[in-house]
Amino acid sequence: MSRLSPPPGPTAVRGAPTDGPSAARRFLISGQLHHPLALTVADLRTRWPQRHAPVVFDCATNGPQHHTFDGPLLRDVLDVAGPAFDARRRKDRSRFLLTVTGGDGHHTVLSWAEIDADFGDAPILLATAMDGQPLDAAGCQLVVPSDRCGARYISAITGIWVGTCPAPDGP
């Protein structure tokens, strides 16, 4: 079980590197957006409120994993990118998908409805710290606190794509 709460205090991610090659690692948010973004872990830490999420997930090879993550909500970051849908139309929002890709090529798909407050309202994070350690050198991580399996935890995010799911061809 997991819960999402404000971070324990301003010292949660102190000591994060502010210079050097690892601090400049960027990932792209692209697709059907009004304002595509290129962000670093430091950007995520300074531009959005940080949330704190203690999580437990079962790892097929190592058993249960207990971690804490800090970072902004994915939906808050994507709101700034401005998905190209009519926010007043629920059915328009429910057609959008997100793909998140990591530095090792691992990727996953989420639906906009999972993170939308009118639908699933899942508190999915773009983690800036894990177990109190800043992720500047490693890159941010997708954290899905409600998942019992860690397969959708994407490390070293290199890109997030947002776009519509096409309607299937007839019956």
Task: Kindly state the tokens that stand for 33.
Answer: 């957006």
Task: Kindly state the tokens that stand for 23.
Answer: 């601090």
Task: Kindly state the tokens that stand for 119.
Answer: 């639908």
- Domain hosting 147: range is 23-164
67 φ, ψ to 5°? -145, 165
Report yes or no: 38 and 19 within 8 Å, Cβ to Cβ: no
Whether 1 is in a domain gets the answer no
Whether 141 is in a domain gets the answer yes
Report yes or no: 65 and 57 within 8 Å, Cβ to Cβ: yes
pLDDT per position in the chain (171 positions), as tens? Answer: 333 333 333 322 223 333 444 445 899 999 999 999 999 999 999 999 999 999 998 877 778 889 999 999 999 999 999 999 887 888 888 889 999 999 999 999 999 999 999 999 999 999 999 999 999 999 999 999 998 888 899 999 999 999 998 778 766
Whether 5 is in a domain gets the answer no
Count CA atoms within 13 Å of residue 160 on its CB side. 31
pTM: 0.82
Q: What is the pLDDT of residue 86?
A: 80
| CATH code, domain carrying 87 | 3.90.420.10
Q: What is the pLDDT of residue 170?
A: 65
Q: Kindly state the DSSP code that residue 166 receives in the 8-state scheme.
A: P
Q: What is the pLDDT of residue 4?
A: 39
Tokens 């097929």 appear where? 60
Task: Kindly state the tokens that stand for 83.
Answer: 């998905």
Whether 10 is in a domain gets the answer no
Whether 9 is in a domain gets the answer no
Whether 156 is in a domain gets the answer yes
156: left (phi over 0), alpha (psi -120 to 50) or beta: left
How many domains is the chain partitioned into structurally? Answer: 1
Whether 38 is in a domain gets the answer yes
